[in-house]
Amino acid sequence: MKQLLIPIVILSATVSTQAQSYTLNDLENQFILNNTQLLASKFNVDKSHAEIIQEKLWPNPTLSISEVNLWKSYNIEQQPYLFGKYGQNQQVAVELEQLIETAGKRKKRVALKQLEQTAAAFDYEEILRELRKELRMIYHNLKRINQEEKQLQEIVQLYQQMNENYQRQAQLKNIPTSEFYRIQTELIALQKEQIDLENERMQSLNQLRILTHNDQLEMYQLAFSSKPSQYAQQLPINLLEIAQKQNIGLKRLDNEQAKLNKQLELEIAQKKTDLMLQINYDRGGNIMRDFVGVGVSFDLPIFNTNKGNIKAAQITIDQQKTNYKTAENYLQQSISHLQNQLVRMEQILNNWPINQVTAQKHMLDNYKKHLQNKQVSLLELIDFTQAYREANQSFLAIEQTYYNTLEELQYIVGKDF
């Protein structure tokens, strides 16, 4: 009984694996969960958080022990023992120092680290958006390849049948050999296209496997949906306003501007000198046997008042403002261009004579029959198949460009529609 169950279980698992299909949403979920580039970028956010914790800490105090004589000295004033019978002839000095930063320098550095953590989060978001856009474009490319391969296979099968028939008729001297060569040449060209499509399919499929970390992914497992070409009509009116809030490039520049402002505040704070508080203990070093005192040290801002760094920070802020305006203008022009391109593509796709494509498939079958009945010539059939294929290629290429344009627009705006 067990021997019968094992093959059944294996067969069921195999069928289940083969029947599994992946939609675009499924691929995106695998990508988010498994992509190592994303996971590596996410570690930068955690690392930035750890750096914030470190920056909040005060600097450690400094303990100095000096003026210790390890030998016995004579001709000195008698002193009490330090411990036991030791220390009557020994001298020692102990000093404890603590740096006190003024003008809120530590808080300003913490604020800078927090903005760096935000920048790391934006880096993660940018990688996520870029790779997700790449994944979607690969998916659309595979959809086009899949449809092209199916249509090309039908034509190749037709020419293979004709090639066999014409070869046989040419050997029987019923038709000129040149007609057989013409069919054979066209068949070789079509098979070359098949090889090119297969190579393109394998390359795109490998890229998809890398992005999703699904090494077992195959073409037949991809579920291609036929989405309606109506996205241009659904675009928000305030598209530019949304992009100014959501565009990852502008968000990064805004954060960089905030970092530069904090850096300027920190450079201004550097003008004010820090304090070094001191507590001293001196045994036998002066007229007092056990002296305890306090002190403070600080730099005198006479020669260096940090003017150069402050000026450089101000110039960098002005430079960043110019970069922001440039990026904002580029964003506006890109959105306008992509939106207009999406509208034009949508109009072409909506006006495409889909019914004629079905009619052309019937005409292709009729051409084959008419060729056998000598009602059309071989060149007419070849011209029609070439025109039929070019028309389908044009439609699929426009459709792919349409969806790629949509992905570019969604990436720039920072929101899916």
Residues 284-334 pLDDT 10s: 777 777 889 999 999 998 999 999 999 999 999 999 999 999 999 999 999
DSSP code string of 334-386: HHHHHHHHHHHHHHHHHTS-HHHHHHHHHHHHHHHHHHHTTSS-HHHHHHHHH
pLDDT tens column, 22-45 = 999 999 999 999 988 888 888 999
- Residue 79 shares a structural domain with residue 160: no
**How high does pLDDT run on average in the chain?**
87
Within 10 Å of residue 295's Cβ, how many Cβ atoms?
11
- Residue 8 shares a structural domain with residue 112: yes
Give me the pLDDT at residue 398, please: 94
- Residue 290 shares a structural domain with residue 392: no
- Residue 13 shares a structural domain with residue 136: yes
Type and span of the H or E element at 388: helix 378-413
Within 10 Å of residue 155's Cβ, how many Cβ atoms?
20
Residue ranges of alpha helices (H) inside 226-306 are 231-234, 239-246, 248-269
**CATH number for the domain harbouring residue 14:** 1.20.1600.10
- Residue 248 shares a structural domain with residue 388: yes
Type and span of the H or E element at 148: helix 105-171
What is the phi/psi pair of residue 126, to 5°? -65, -45
Joined together, the tokens standing for residue 38 give 């994303």
- Residue 140 shares a structural domain with residue 238: no
Which of 280, 305, 330 is the last residue before a domain boundary? 305
Whether the Cβ atoms of residue 93 and residue 66 lie closer than 8 Å to each other:
yes
- Residue 94 shares a structural domain with residue 157: no
Most confident of 14-23, 172-181, 341-350: 341-350
Residue in 28, 25, 415 with CA at minimum distance from that of residue 235: 415
Cα-based distances in Å from 196 to 223, 309, 331: 23, 59, 36
Whether the Cβ atoms of residue 64 and residue 98 lie closer than 8 Å to each other:
no
The pTM of this model reads 0.83
- Residue 122 shares a structural domain with residue 133: yes
Range(s) of the domain holding residue 408 = 229-270+310-417
Which of 164, 198, 225 is the last residue before a domain boundary? 225
CA–CA separation, 113 and 28 (whole Å): 32
pLDDT tens column, 75-90 = 667 777 777 777 777 7
Strand stretches in 86-187, DSSP E: 92-100
- Residue 49 shares a structural domain with residue 188: yes
- Residue 154 shares a structural domain with residue 287: no
Give me the pLDDT at residue 263, please: 95
- Torsion of the alpha carbons at 112, 117, 121 and 127, rounded to the nearest 10: 90
Which of 158, 191, 225 is the last residue before a domain boundary? 225
Q: Say which range, 151-165, 250-264, 366-380, has the weakest mean pLDDT.
A: 366-380
Between helix 105-171 and helix 36-55 the angle, nearest 10°, is 180
Q: pLDDT-derived band of residue 269, with 50, 70 and 90 as boundaries?
A: very high
Edge-to-edge strands of the sheet including 92-100? Answer: 62-66, 92-100, 275-283, 290-297
Give me the pLDDT at residue 116, please: 94
CA angle 413, 415, 417 (to 5 degrees): 110
Overall number of domains in the chain:
3
Q: pLDDT-derived band of residue 360, with 50, 70 and 90 as boundaries?
A: low
- Residue 96 shares a structural domain with residue 195: no
Strand stretches in 3-125, DSSP E: 62-66, 92-100
What is the phi/psi pair of residue 285, to 5°? -100, -10
CA–CA separation, 170 and 153 (whole Å): 25
- Residue 359 shares a structural domain with residue 276: no
Spatial CB neighbours of 413, under 8 Å, sequence gap ≥ 6: 239, 242, 243, 246, 247, 335
